């Protein structure tokens, strides 16, 4: 199996031993504590599950700045984005060596992790501006990732952590949420050596389905990991439970048995385009996948990034020896009326736009809200039915 990023073995920060975990949880209740941001909580979940391997905790200011500008920590570890715990007010824990981190996303703010505090530093306005611009390629406050990154405060708390639970993800998505170490175990038990991962924050229509099938065939892969983001999204995105149901229905009906793993991970979307595509590659290498599908406008939002910036970053900014996972480069895919099948647009140079079945997100929402069937060339009827129920329920509440 492919090695995890930065080490020979995965180093999840979740406290595996139940007795040790219970004792630490009891001890943590006596510690000074702080309610962290949703982004920092998601970082703890990802550290706990091994997705951020080989990190041992939250980065300090020096590492964060260097990762933002060079994609390297001060010690030279390749990493595409800072993994930080930033707060507005750290007065409750200043001078403390060990603290408890409380979950902002669960009622009662239970303790999520215990942290050894190595440093509490202030981020200057210029430093925040520099990191934001490097990570997101924009300073526009309307960019959802920029708004989230710059809105949590300017005090950075760094140090190693021990994770006690996986926030709301295990309870809300018991059949779907899996850690990187759990996925490595599953892939190993299946005997898969070559595995292609598909990242999604959206439901999957025919084009996405066929893209997975194309990659599986082209790479002669043993299996596919359909890996969905389960954390916070921008307003208007489809909730994780609806996406989960629609993807499971598609796989159940239209993929051969034992060729697809459906899973999800507990992270808030950054919408950081190219940088987030590289982060997605790190995640999937840590799960044991050998390839990641990177398509048009991967992890993008609006018009902040070029359509293939998320592919070219692997050529222009990622050192060749930085990652073991490989990228499967995909073009926009759509149903060809001429050929009667889904194709990558680059493979159909004789086609005009009207030769493809393409619907905008706005048009899809409008049709589903009105109970209108989507073209079967665009979406499987079973998937469209699930999405139709969601949009009609929204419309009824208006």
Q: Among 174, 186, 215, which Cα is nearest to 327's?
A: 215
Q: Could you give the count of Cα atoms lying within 13 Å of 146 in the half-sphere of its Cβ?
A: 18
258 annotated active-site: no
Please say whether the beta carbons of 226 and 262 come within 8 A.
Answer: yes
Angle between helices 61-70 and 125-136 (to 10 degrees): 40
Provide the terminal-to-terminal Cα distance of the chain, rounded to the nearest Å: 50
> Given 109, 202, 332, 358, which residue is catalytic?
202
CA distances (Å), origin 337, targets 90, 340, 351, 357, 376: 59, 5, 9, 7, 12
CA dist., res. 320 & res. 58, Å (int): 26
Neighbours of 5 (CB within 10 A): 26
Neighbours of 7 (CB within 10 A): 12
Instruction: Look up residue 77 and give its two tokens.
Output: 């570890």
Q: Where are the alpha helices (DSSP H) in 33-143?
A: 38-49, 61-70, 125-136
76's torsion region: left (phi>0), alpha (psi -120 to 50) or beta?
A: left
Instruction: Look up residue 91 and give its two tokens.
Output: 């007065």
CA dist., res. 272 & res. 264, Å (int): 19
202 annotated active-site: yes
CA dist., res. 192 & res. 74, Å (int): 36
**Which residues, 6+ apart, have CB-to-CB distance to 150 below 8 Å?**
128, 132, 141
CA dist., res. 256 & res. 254, Å (int): 7
CA dist., res. 120 & res. 105, Å (int): 23
> Given 11, 72, 154, 201, which residue is catalytic?
201
Q: Which residues are catalytic?
A: 201-202
């Amino acid at each position: 199996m492919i090695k995890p990023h930065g080490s020979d073995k995965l180093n999840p920060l979740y406290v595996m031993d139940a007795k040790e975990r219970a004792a630490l949880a009891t001890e943590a209740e006596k510690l000074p504590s702080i309610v962290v941001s949703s982004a920092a909580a998601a970082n703890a979940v990802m550290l706990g599950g091994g997705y951020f391997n080989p990190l041992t905790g939250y980065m300090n200011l020096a590492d964060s700045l260097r990762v933002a500008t060079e994609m390297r920590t001060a010690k030279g570890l390749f990493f595409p984005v800072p993994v930080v715990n930033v707060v507005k007010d750290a007065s409750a824990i200043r001078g403390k060596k060990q603290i408890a981190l409380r979950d902002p996303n669960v009622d009662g703010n239970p303790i999520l992790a215990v942290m050894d505090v190595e440093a509490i530093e202030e981020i200057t306005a210029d430093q925040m501006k520099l990191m934001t611009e490097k990570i997101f390629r924009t300073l526009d406050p309307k960019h959802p990732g920029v708004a989230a990154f710059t809105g949590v405060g300017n005090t950075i708390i760094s140090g190693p952590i021990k994770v006690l639970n996986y926030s709301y993800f295990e309870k809300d998505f018991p059949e779907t949420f899996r850690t990187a170490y759990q996925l490595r175990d599953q892939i190993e038990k299946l005997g898969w050596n070559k595995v292609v991962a598909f990242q999604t924050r959206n439901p999957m229509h025919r084009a996405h389905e066929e893209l997975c099938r194309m990659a599986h065939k082209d790479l002669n892969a043993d299996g596919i990991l359909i890996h969905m983001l389960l954390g916070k999204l921008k307003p208007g995105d489809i909730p994780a439970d609806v996406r989960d149901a629609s993807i499971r229905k598609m796989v159940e009906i239209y993929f051969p048995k034992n060729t697809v793993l459906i899973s999800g991970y507990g992270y808030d979307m950054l919408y950081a385009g190219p940088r987030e595509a590289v982060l997605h590659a790190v995640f999937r290498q840590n799960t044991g996948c050998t390839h990641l599908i990177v398509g048009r406008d991967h992890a993008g939002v609006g018009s902040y990034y070029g359509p293939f910036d998320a592919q070219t970053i692997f050529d222009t900014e990622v050192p060749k020896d930085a990652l073991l996972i490989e990228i499967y480069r995909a073009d926009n895919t759509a149903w060809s009326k001429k050929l009667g099948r889904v194709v990558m647009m680059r493979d159909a140079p004789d086609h005009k736009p009207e030769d493809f079945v393409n619907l905008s997100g706005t048009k899809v929402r409008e049709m589903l809200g009105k109970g209108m069937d989507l073209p079967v060339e665009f979406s499987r009827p079973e998937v469209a039915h699930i999405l139709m129920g969601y949009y009609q329920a929204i419309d009824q509440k208006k």
